[in-house]
Chain A
């Protein structure tokens, strides 16, 4: 008998519909689980128990009077602490926003509220989503539930760890360079970065606006599909959200089942790690698809080796501009302990006190690449190389339906192991191209290396999340990984 807190959202929806479970019981079970394991895991920055139980109770009342809002009604969803929920804290794991309370709802939160889902908890992240390990949080690191000495990945490390540890049924994260997919891989859960523009970014604290996307982390593909369904669609409050039709992602899992896909293996992704034992599960997953009758083709993305450099110029430039709003004047931490002679003094000192080290480093780098005399050499150059990277994908997607790659060069690393920022950046090599090209990417548990989960990445054509979810579910159904959990 599986513990309630490890049941999937679709199983829980049936129990709720059948009257065998109430949302209050379910929400209480997750609160209890969180209280018992979060001291070890550290996934949560905070949670509002009374508020969650009140939402659950409202859901139970709707059900009693026959007004159920849909399959997510009454099911708790965890939230990365960079999404705005009216009346709740929004810290971005930064001292800068330690006391900030959101005056409005993000669009994805409005949408989730309209499904009746119970919004539960503020999940830890690298400060302002800048990092790959959730070690850059002003409120302390999150641990990997599979090995507490290891990082959960980042920046959505709290979201991934909470789902893996049974503290959340599923959760929202955000992905700017791999921040959903890499922690999903490290924690053995499913993570999806949607196509740029699929989900409105309104109410997501901006890091790099041309790269950021909100997406689901879940224990199986179907739950990820149903959470994606709930948050997708055009929004007048985000001019970059796309007026594309939103398919029925859950129904597509059935209708696309058994298709003979043509799947590409980008040779540049495998070149450096060809015989790494850590990637054996990825190689086995590729063989699984071959065995299903899919055509497996080697393809080339020749500008892959320039992706990390391009990303760290574009992302930091956009960050330096976006984070200029944290000035100590209007709604953030303000330095008080000195005699400011003007507002600029307040900016400089408030930012010195409010930002952590990685945020300072990236804002300064971004400022540099945009500064007079360097703009053409760095920022404009990177935008041009971004075109080449995008065109690489356009070219291969004329030949193949999707690409299979590793998510990361290695499984979760130990806390404190990557002190040099450049070595941390280089660990994002397989995930950042998808953000630069704006395409969707799924991270799916495909096995273990040294007792730690390893993920398979499936990259798809723009707005074809339905296809990569269906491809992923074929593998998931034939393997036991979604039902394996860390021992806590």
Chain B
């Protein structure tokens, strides 16, 4: 099963927004192929009539009164920013 898995490490790492070294690509491909081979055992079960579980206990939508309350002050919120200026995060230019 592991052999014919279609796992594409380049594509998936790009989706995950993680640069990988060539070594990591080789290592992760083989490990993830074996993990994916293992989880394919779920295919043994017929679940056509089963509802999916997203949460272990029933949860209802939770509403609160639409009242403004205090939030984190800007200087606290920016305290951990790697780069900031004028109460904003600094990033490379996005549009020309």
Do these two chains interact? yes
Contact: A329 with B89, CB < 8 Å? yes
> Closest residue to B52 on the A side, CB-wise?
A383
For A390, list chain B residues within 8 Å (CB): 53, 56
**With an 8 A cutoff between CB atoms, is A240 at the interface?**
yes
Binary flags per residue of B4-43, CB closer than 8 Å to A gives 1, else 0:
0001010011111111100010001001101110111111
CA distance A331 to B89 in the complex (A): 9
For A308, list chain B residues within 8 Å (CB): 38
**With an 8 A cutoff between CB atoms, is B51 at the interface?**
yes
Chain A residue total in the interface (Cβ 8 A): 74
Task: Name the contact of A364 in the complex, choosing from B9, B47, B57 (C-beta under 8 A).
Answer: B9
Smallest beta-carbon distance B54→chain A, Å? 6
CA distance A378 to B51 in the complex (A): 15
**With an 8 A cutoff between CB atoms, is A242 at the interface?**
yes
CA distance A237 to B72 in the complex (A): 14
Q: Which of B24, B55, B76, B79 has the largest number of chain A CB atoms within 10 A?
A: B55
**With an 8 A cutoff between CB atoms, is B68 at the interface?**
no
Contact: B38 with A363, CB < 8 Å? no
* Contacts A196-B57, A367-B12; A351 near B32 (Cβ below 8 A): no
* Contacts A382-B42, A385-B47; A331 near B17 (Cβ below 8 A): no
* Contacts A380-B52, A381-B42; A343 near B91 (Cβ below 8 A): yes
Residues of chain A in range 318-361 having any CB-CB distance to chain B below 8 Å: 320, 324, 327-334, 340-349, 351-352, 355, 357, 360-361
For A104, list chain B residues within 8 Å (CB): 72, 76
Task: Name the contact of A363 in the complex, choosing from B18, B40, B42 (C-beta under 8 A).
Answer: B18
Smallest beta-carbon distance A303→chain B, Å? 8
For A309, list chain B residues within 8 Å (CB): 38-42
Contact: B16 with A320, CB < 8 Å? yes
Q: Pick from A12-20, A95-103, A137-145, A174-182 the stretch touching chain B.
A: A95-103
For A381, list chain B residues within 8 Å (CB): 42-43, 47
* Contacts A364-B9, A371-B12, A371-B15; A332 near B82 (Cβ below 8 A): yes
**With an 8 A cutoff between CB atoms, is B83 at the interface?**
yes
Task: Name the contact of B51 in the complex, choosing from A313, A333, A361, A384 (C-beta under 8 A).
Answer: A384
* Contacts A351-B17, A351-B19, A360-B24; A346 near B32 (Cβ below 8 A): no
CA distance A422 to B30 in the complex (A): 11
For B50, list chain A residues within 8 Å (CB): 384-385, 387-388
Binary flags per residue of A265-303, CB closer than 8 Å to B gives 1, else 0:
000000000000000000000000000000000000001
**With an 8 A cutoff between CB atoms, is B45 at the interface?**
yes
Residues of chain A in range 171-206 having any CB-CB distance to chain B below 8 Å: 195-197
**With an 8 A cutoff between CB atoms, is A310 at the interface?**
yes
CA distance A195 to B62 in the complex (A): 20
Smallest beta-carbon distance A394→chain B, Å? 11
Q: Which of A340, A384, A390 has the largest number of chain B CB atoms within 10 A?
A: A384
> Closest residue to B48 on the A side, CB-wise?
A384
* Contacts A342-B94, A382-B42; A331 near B81 (Cβ below 8 A): yes
> Closest residue to B47 on the A side, CB-wise?
A384
Smallest beta-carbon distance B43→chain A, Å? 8
For B64, list chain A residues within 8 Å (CB): 236
Contact: A348 with B17, CB < 8 Å? yes
Residues of chain B in range 45-87 having any CB-CB distance to chain A below 8 Å: 45, 47, 50-57, 59, 62, 64, 72, 76-77, 79-83
Contact: A346 with B92, CB < 8 Å? yes
**With an 8 A cutoff between CB atoms, is A312 at the interface?**
yes
For A236, list chain B residues within 8 Å (CB): 64
Contact: B82 with A328, CB < 8 Å? yes
CA distance A202 to B36 in the complex (A): 32
For A385, list chain B residues within 8 Å (CB): 42, 45, 47, 50
> Closest residue to B63 on the A side, CB-wise?
A239
**With an 8 A cutoff between CB atoms, is A421 at the interface?**
yes
Contact: B19 with A352, CB < 8 Å? yes
Smallest beta-carbon distance B75→chain A, Å? 9
* Contacts A343-B92, A383-B54, A421-B35; A103 near B18 (Cβ below 8 A): no
Smallest beta-carbon distance A461→chain B, Å? 12
For A380, list chain B residues within 8 Å (CB): 52
Q: List 12 A-B contacts (CB under 8 A).
A: A308-B38, A324-B17, A352-B19, A360-B18, A366-B16, A368-B36, A371-B15, A383-B52, A384-B53, A387-B51, A388-B47, A422-B38
For the A-B complex with A210-B56, A438-B56 known, give 5 more contacts whose Cβ atoms are closer than 8 Å.
A309-B42, A329-B89, A364-B13, A437-B56, A462-B56
Chain B interface residues toward A at CB < 8 A:
7, 9, 12-20, 24, 28, 31-32, 34-36, 38-43, 45, 47, 50-57, 59, 62, 64, 72, 76-77, 79-83, 89, 91-94
6 cross-chain pairs, A with B, having the tightest CB-CB distances, nearest first: A438-B56, A383-B52, A334-B82, A331-B80, A384-B47, A352-B19
